[in-house]
Structures are given as C-alpha cells and as structure tokens.
Amino acid sequence: LGTWVTFGGQISDEVAERLMTIAYESGVNLFDTAEVYAAGKAEVILGSIIKKKGWRRSSLVITTKLYWGGKAETERGLSRKHIIEEIVRAMTHVINQGMAMYWGTSRWSAMEIMEAYSVARQFNMIPPVCEQAEYHLFQREKVEVQLPELYHKIGVGAMTWSPLACGIISGKYGNGVPESSRASLKCYQWLKERIISEEGRKQQNKLKDLLPIAERLGCTLPQLAVAWCLRNEGVSSVLLGSSTPEQLIENLGAIQAVLPKMTSHVVNEIDNILRNKPYSKKDYRS
C-alpha cells in the first residue's frame, strides 16, 4: 500500500487507518512512504497507525525514500549532510546501524543501479536489492526489458508503482476530468494535461477496447490492470494507492479473483489492443 498524495493530504487520518487495516487484514505486508510525502506527515501517520494497532514490526515491510527533504541545500539530495556520505556508503552505514534492513533505488536507470552495485562490491559494502519503477499498461519498457537483465545479473527486484497510471486507467477520465478527481487539483495540472492530450485520448480509446476483456473475466478495468502488473514474474510487488476503502477493496480483488485468469492468451489479447509491447535484444534474436 502506497501513501503518496493520500496520507496527510487527500484523506483524513481516520480513512488512512481504515485503509491500512483493510490492507493488513487482506494480507498486505508492505507499506510505502517517503520523507517528501505531505512534507513528512505521511511517514508520521504510517508509524502512528502501526503503533496504535500493535502490529508486530517483524511482520511488516516498511519502505521510505530519501532525496527531496526540505528547502535548504543540506536538506535534500543524498550528500553526507543529508544522510551520510556517498549513496552506497550512506546506505551501508544506515543498515549497519540497524536503521534499515535493506536499501533500494527509485527511478534510477539500469546503468546507475549497476554502478551502485559495482561500487558496493568493490569496497565491500551493501548493494541495492530493488528498484521502484513506474509500471502499468502504458509504461512498460523499463520493467519488462531493463530490470529483468539486472535481476538475472545481480538479483535486483522490481517494486512497481502507479498500476492505474495515476488514475488514468480507472476509467474515471473517459469523458473528461471530473471535479472531484486528482487531475482537477491545481498541483496536478500536469496530469490533467496528460489526460486531455492527443496521446491521452488514444489511451482512453484503448481502455474502452479492453473493457470487453474485463467483462469476460468478470472484473473491473482497474482489477484487470492490477492483475496485469502482478502477472509479470519479474515484479516483486505492486504498490497500490487508494483514497477510499471501496477503491482498495476493489483493487485487492485482483489478486484472488483475476490473477489466476491472466493466461498467456489473455495477455496476448491485451497486447494486441495496446500495441506497445517493448522488445529486448533477446526478442530480436529469437
């Protein structure tokens, strides 16, 4: 369960607690946040809910992200002033001090991840174990082509985010931008522009073409999209973001109800509609 936009911002603390409870009771054990989410409020809310619920910390995986921090030069970036020294050395220190169990990257290129791994091995430090990457029906290249090579070479797994493309795949934007939606918020003008662009309209048309597949499988379009992400064996986890209990329950329904139905035939049907499947060097050779 992710906390971007929602915790400390779009939803109340009570709703946040309800979402975490639903997730936890449904078997979700990974909760993701970042120091920049709601100016640090998301991390605080997440921690307070876990403490209030009395959940065993050992049964959970809590992930956070460092970089943006505050406005001062010493409050952002990955310098010695912000965390410790250089990134790999800093993360190794954090783990050795017991402040974290593992470290990974977010939105890094394959080359940067490989460089971090090489530095760690060269100086007997701890390498990254995962990369957080955007992955959904309309964003595929990195997770399907670049990260699998890293996984097989150095064991870096993929934690994917935005399975519904910031709500674009939810179906709510089929006829424009509703006033109550995220894209209507002033700080999300970029999302609104993406939706109403020519490419955005093409994406909405493709989503309409996917509806018959979802109906045949007995699921909603969001459930189909989440299951499609989960069906990728290279994906270690999918981060869900929800602003209501109903949304979360719907998305979680993709695990048991839809994922078993994601056969190669169904995946090929989806690919034939999307027409955006990336090809690796291996595919070209074959």
Which residues belong to the active site?
Answer: 37
Give dist(CA 167, CA 214) in Å, integer: 17
Residues 137 and 139: their CA atoms lie apart, in Å, by 6
The token pair at 194 is 């993406």
Largest CA distance in the chain: 55
86, 51 contact by CB (below 8 A)? no
Pairing of strands 157-161, 30-32: unpaired
Mapped onto helix, strand or coil, the DSSP state of residue 237 is strand
How far, in Å, CA of 76 to CA of 182, rounded? 26
| Residue with the two structure tokens 């093409």 | 202
**Taking a C-beta distance cutoff of 8 angstroms, is the pair 41, 8 a contact?**
yes
Closest by Cα among 35, 113, 20 to 70: 35
223: tokens are 């459930």
